[in-house]
Amino acid sequence: MDDSLEGKAALVTGGARRVGAAIARRLHAAGAKVLIHYRDSEADAARLEAAFNAARPKSAAKVKAELLAPIAPRALLLAALEGFGRLDILVNNASSFFPVEVGKIESSHWEELIGSNLRAPLFIAQQAAAELAKNEGCIVNIVDIHAERPLKGYALYSVAKAGLAAMTRALALELAPRVRVNGVAPGAIAWPEDGQFAEGERVRIVSTTPLARTGTPEDIARAVHFLACASYVTGQILAVDGGRSIFI
């Protein structure tokens, strides 16, 4: 498989930090021009953009957008076209993640979790579809192993990611044959920075992972890169979880 992305342009939502930044770095290292979307992490996005452009001039740009805003999908596509003249790879990575107890779910929780994990990826994909088809491009959605096996305490998040998994397969049919659509389903990769999982729970999760460790953002980035290059793969969701989904 040819893993070069030279001449291609990619958009990574939530691309300034953590897993998104690892994906952006991997695609850029493979030769792609990269548009880094961010909402609040402007300094991180600027540093990443500067590093990419220092390595390869005019190979990166950044764009600020609130993905729940109706104008966001068009703004993102226009930023890619203005910056690079094309879009070949869309990575829907941006995601909100927090627990909500059943019985206490409010419309604001629905708007944030369903909005960021399902609605925004759908409307961005819809906006970008014609451009991606023109270039025989692809979409890679960052799903979650809990789309298939819900995480207790995170019912609404699990529902949102289940919708994204279904959307991935549906768009693979709708946009074929010119656009491939796949997903990556991470397991325990980068713990939330707000301490959602206590140390004991982290130990339990690792102990129920056959490879007996957490993964890294680079593990997800490598999977995204593979799917961006795998020209005869569509409608698939690749679990990158150390085997945990076969245990839980």
Number of residues in the chain: 248
157 is catalytic: yes
Catalytic residue among 38, 154, 157, 232: 157
For residue 109, give Cα distances in angstroms to 146, 166, 208.
Answer: 18, 21, 29
73 vs 5: CA distance, rounded Å = 23
Which pairs with CB-CB distance under 8 Å and at least 24 residues apart come from 1-5?
Answer: 1/226, 1/229, 1/230, 1/231, 2/229, 3/30, 3/225, 3/226, 3/229, 4/30, 4/31, 4/229, 5/30, 5/31, 5/32, 5/88, 5/89, 5/225, 5/228, 5/229
Residue type at 85 in one-letter notation? G
Q: Which residues have CB under 8 Å from 143's CB, separation 6+? A: 161, 164, 165, 168, 183, 184, 185, 186, 237
Residues carrying an active site annotation: 157
